[in-house]
Amino acid sequence: MEYLFYISGAAAVISTFMVIIQTKAVHALLYLIVSLLSVALVFFSFGAPFVAALEVIIYAGAIMVLFVFVIMMLNLGPEAAEEEKKLISARMWIGPSILAAILLAVLIYTLTRTGTIANPLIVGPKEVGMALYGPYLIGVELASILLLAGMVGAYHLGRGRRYGGPGEGE
């Protein structure tokens, strides 16, 4: 499974480098999604399939959707229409598409060629769950408090100006 690690690691480095040199936020977001997917494949090659799935679902799914929402909200305006046309142009999709195709090819090759399920090095979801709700239970509680604080903070920041409390909006 070494080739899976090295190919997806190279894809991660390339796409991460492309993230920070883009000028448009949406293009950087495309490369960031490819970077997260390739890091998920790196996790898979390290024998952590549960965390790889979490990376795809939570990072590349939920958190990137938040980014897309914010970028869409900031793009409102009359010039947004022709901006959209430029964003949809096929040239910008080539780089992320090639990287994602490489990742898909190496994943399919790995899954069809080797029986990775029988690998004794894999630490599956069962062990992770036992550890998470055993010795790390206090960490789970703290993470829930942190998420609650994040939710309250995001709600407070997003309420708008006319409900503003003291010290803002003057």
Q: How far is the CB of 84 from other proteins (least distance, A)?
A: 18
Single out the segment in contact with other proteins by CB under 8 A; choices: 65-73, 83-91, 92-100, 103-111: 65-73
Residues 37 and 56: beta-carbon distance below 8 Å: yes
> Of 58 and 101, which CB lies nearer to other proteins in the complex structure?
58
Total number of residues binding other proteins (CB under 8 A)? 62
What would the two tokens of residue 136 be? Answer: 């790390």
- Within residues 126-145, the interface with other proteins by CB under 8 A covers 127-128, 130-132, 136, 139, 143
Alpha-carbon distance of 42 to 2, in angstroms, equals 10
Q: Return the H-helix or E-strand segment holding 17.
A: helix 2-20
- Residue 102 binds other proteins (CB under 8 A): no
- Residue 92 binds other proteins (CB under 8 A): no
- Residue 95 binds other proteins (CB under 8 A): no
| 3-class secondary structure, 6 | helix
- Residue 87 binds other proteins (CB under 8 A): no
What would the two tokens of residue 130 be? Answer: 């036992």
- Residue 63 binds other proteins (CB under 8 A): yes
Three-state secondary structure of 21-80: CCCCHHHHHHHHHHHHHHHHHHHHHCCCHHHHHHHHHHHHHHHHHHHHHHHHHHCCCCCH
| Cα 138 from chain centre | 26
Give residues in contact with other proteins (CB under 8 A).
1-2, 5-6, 9, 12-13, 16-17, 19-20, 25, 28-29, 32, 35-36, 39, 42-43, 45-48, 50-51, 54-55, 58-59, 62-63, 66-67, 69-71, 73-74, 114, 119, 121, 123, 127-128, 130-132, 136, 139, 143, 146-147, 149-151, 153-154, 156-158, 161
